[in-house]
Structure 1
Amino acid sequence: MRPINLIVVHCSASRCDRCYTEYDLTTDHLRRGFSGAGYHYYIRKNGDIKSLRPVEKPGVHSKGHNANSIGICYEGGLDENGRPADTRTSFQKHSLRVLVMLLLRDYPGSRLCGHRDLSPDLNHNGEIEPEEWIKECPCFDASSILSDPVPGNPAYL
């Protein structure tokens, strides 16, 4: 088994008003020359978690970080006009939280981050700031996944 120390969250950069299935994602990745989907997991708008690549096999999702990471992608990330936005449904938020919690249990000590957080620190201040992001993916702070409200709690509604 390969060592895992990083869990990276991505968005599919697809519009929230359109369907982008795991088949669509895999087909797009095959067209780009990948051997299949680059992510290990894909979360559909309805919350379904699709396993796309065995965890034992390195992903193709974060250049320079694939050897020791697991890639999770959620469907969406662009608003109806094609602009970056946090388009996660409540189902996706729940599924993402559960999946991340399970992965952190299986790979204790792993760092949770968004793809954008792996951008280079251009000003060398030790912090990746919005002006340094290569892309906005995902369009929310991935570290907030574990602090998102839990369904059933009054704060969630």
Structure 2
Amino acid sequence: MREIKNIVLHCTATQPTATVESILRFWRTSRKWRDPGYHYIIEFNGNVRNLQPEEKPSNGVAGHNLDSIHVSYIGGIDREGKPEDTRSSEQRIAMKGLVQKLHQRYPTAIILGHRDFPNVPKACPSFDVRSWLKEENVL
């Protein structure tokens, strides 16, 4: 079993209407990835889909995939393609519950956003994870 040091939150950097299938297709065809970018993806309606077993790494953050669990919500950009927290209330509720469950499973893991890693020039997940953890009493 791999040691999990991080629970990383992401956005798909798509419109909230994107489908899981279109995201998977993009990874396979454009990125040529065999494995998905996240372990879990949260649809706009709050449905949580498991894309990769937790025992296997996914392609979430270069150099940190072996020791991380990756969670994403569909969305994260506005109509012009600029970073924006587009989480629906259902996605927020689902993300909070999933993060709480993962933290119980991996109590020493640090919860952070993709953008919180060194040398990551992205806004992902388009919200401040540390502030969200406090504001929503996630832990």
TM-score by length of 2: 0.92
Equivalence map 1:8-157=2 (5 Å): 8-16=8-16, 19-31=17-29, 32-120=31-119, 133-149=120-136
TM-score by length of 1: 0.82
| Alpha-carbon distance in 1 for matches of 2:89, 2:135 | 10
The equivalent of 1:3 in structure 2 is 3
- Asked whether the 8 Å contact 2:83–2:123 carries over to 1, the reply is yes
Larger Cα-atom Rg: 1
| Alpha-carbon distance in 2 for matches of 1:148, 1:91 | 17
| Alpha-carbon distance in 2 for matches of 1:95, 1:144 | 17
Task: Identify unmatched segments of 5+ residues in structure 1.
Answer: 121-132, 151-157
The equivalent of 1:130 in structure 2 is none
Compute the displacement of 1:81 (Å). 1.9
Compute the displacement of 1:144 (Å). 3.2
| Alpha-carbon distance in 1 for matches of 2:52, 2:35 | 8
Cα RMSD after superposing both structures: 1.4
Compute the displacement of 1:60 (Å). 0.7
The one-letter code of the counterpart of 1:30 is R
Residue deviations 1:87-132 (CA, integer Å, cap 9, x gap):
1111111100000000000001100000000133xxxxxxxxxxxx
Compute the displacement of 1:82 (Å). 1.6
Task: Identify unmatched segments of 5+ residues in structure 2.
Answer: none
